[in-house]
């Protein structure tokens, strides 16, 4: 037995047959190899450079909500209304996305408490077709807002999106005013709406519900913008400043209220919900 095997036996390296791809994660920013368990225990934040990795809807809900939250049912919408096809059929793209994701579309919502503060939390999952906003996302968003209205509690939305779902054409763009109307209703009812902008939040989502919060929190390093940097640069024919469209830059220029590390996100939300609690206002 070599020294390496002896060391390996004593350390919790897991099943030998497990492929190295599953054991280690390469941080996209600092390029360090990090143990997957260490990385996940650290809320998918790189322990070396604090890079905030992208996480799925279920992980996010578990990180933010207290145990015992209830998932809201996924909406039923007409699928592929335009019978869209580019290099692949839209229905095939949906099938492929569903095969690698536990949810039927890119927006998942739940109701529960954050450190005891009641709230509906909606999460957009970038891993599902780039978090793109189509009818299913719009419906799930509106249902979540409606649930907050019914229960007279806050609505927290964690955004991540490449923009509108182009396979649904104008129908995807119509989700922007729909979401805006629901947020108006929340406002009229005096219920708080808090947005957590995560990497990346762009396009039509930024142009609607991602920027209509009472409070905007961003995760460190998150890319947040409407059009891409290259498009803007080519349009205005000017070099853009360093860090343009990143959370810290936007915070400095007043576009977001605070940049919060994922480790403090739960506590920060709980504190904000307590300040903005409708019960207190009444
Ligand atoms: Zn790193």
**pLDDT, tens digit, 9 for 90 and up, residues 3-16:** 766 666 666 555 55
What SS3 class is residue 81?
coil
Reported as a single tens digit per residue, the pLDDT across 251-269 is 999 999 999 999 999 999 9
User: Taking the CB of residue 33, how many other CB atoms lie within 10 A of it?
Assistant: 12
Tell me: pLDDT of 18 over 90. Answer: no
Helix 135-151 to helix 175-188 angle, to the nearest 10 degrees? 10
CA of 16 to the centre of ligand 1 (A): 26
Assess whether pLDDT exceeds 90 at residue 80.
yes
Asked which of 6-15, 151-160, 239-248 is least confident by mean pLDDT, the reply is: 6-15
Distance 255 CA to ligand 1 centre (A): 26
Q: What per-residue confidence (pLDDT) applies to 277?
A: 82
CA-CA distance, 50 to 44, in Å (whole number)? 9
- Distance from the CA of 220 to the center of ligand 1, in angstroms? 13
CB 131 within 8 A of CB 103: no
pLDDT at 22: 82
pLDDT at 20 over 70: no
The alpha carbon of 26 and the centre of ligand 1 are apart by a number of angstroms equal to 8
Q: Give pairs for 27-33: CB < 8 Å, separation 24+.
A: 27/51, 27/53, 28/53, 29/221
Is the domain spanning 54-276 CATH 3.30.9.10? The answer is no
Portion of the chain with pLDDT greater than 70, in percent: 91
pLDDT > 90? residue 125: yes
> Cα(33) to centroid of ligand 1, in Å?
8
Q: How far is the CA of 12 from the centre of ligand 1 (A)?
A: 23
Average pLDDT of span 30-46: 95
Q: How far is the CA of 34 from the centre of ligand 1 (A)?
A: 8
Residues 13 and 21: their CA atoms lie apart, in Å, by: 13
pLDDT of residue 145 exceeding 90 = yes
Give the mean model confidence (pLDDT) for residues 125-147: 97
CA of 81 to the centre of ligand 1 (A): 42
> 39 CA distance to ligand 1 centroid (A)?
10
Ligand 1 centroid to residue 172 C-alpha, Å: 35
CA of 201 to the centre of ligand 1 (A): 21
- The pTM of the full predicted model, rounded to 2 decimals, is 0.90
Q: Which is more confidently placed, 178 or 15?
A: 178
In this predicted structure, the answer to whether residue 162 has a pLDDT above a threshold of 80 is yes
Q: From ligand 1's centre to the CA of 213, what distance in Å?
A: 30
Q: Where do the CATH 3.90.226.10 domains begin and end in the chain?
A: 54-276
- 259: CA distance to ligand 1 center in Å? 18
């Amino acid at each position: 037995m070599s020294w390496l095997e002896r060391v390996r036996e004593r350390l919790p390296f897991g099943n030998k047959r497990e492929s190295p791809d599953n054991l280690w994660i390469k941080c996209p920013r600092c390029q360090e190899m990090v143990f997957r368990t260490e990385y996940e225990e650290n809320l998918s934040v790189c322990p070396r450079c604090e890079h905030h990795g992208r996480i799925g809807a279920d992980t996010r809900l578990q990180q933010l909500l207290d145990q015992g939250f209830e998932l809201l049912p996924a909406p039923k919408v007409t699928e592929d209304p335009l019978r869209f096809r580019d290099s692949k059929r839209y229905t095939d793209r949906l099938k492929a996305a569903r095969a690698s994701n536990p949810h039927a579309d890119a927006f998942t919502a739940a109701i529960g408490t954050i450190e005891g503060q009641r709230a509906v939390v909606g999460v957009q999952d970038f891993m599902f077709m780039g978090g793109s906003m189509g009818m299913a996302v719009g419906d799930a968003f509106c249902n979540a807002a409606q649930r907050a209205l019914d229960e007279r509690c806050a609505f927290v939305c964690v955004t991540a999106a490449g923009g509108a779902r182009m396979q649904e054409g104008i129908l995807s763009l119509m989700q922007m005013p729909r979401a805006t109307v629901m947020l108006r209703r929340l406002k009229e009812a005096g219920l708080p709406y808090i947005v957590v902008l995560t990497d990346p939040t762009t396009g039509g989502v930024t142009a609607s519900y991602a920027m209509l919060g009472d409070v905007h929190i961003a995760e460190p390093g998150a890319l947040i913008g409407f059009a891409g940097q290259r498009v803007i640069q080519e349009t205005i024919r000017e070099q853009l400043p360093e860090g343009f469209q990143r959370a810290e830059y936007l915070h400095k220029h007043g576009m977001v209220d605070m940049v919060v590390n994922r480790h403090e996100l739960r506590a920060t939300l709980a504190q904000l919900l307590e300040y903005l609690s409708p019960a207190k206002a009444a």
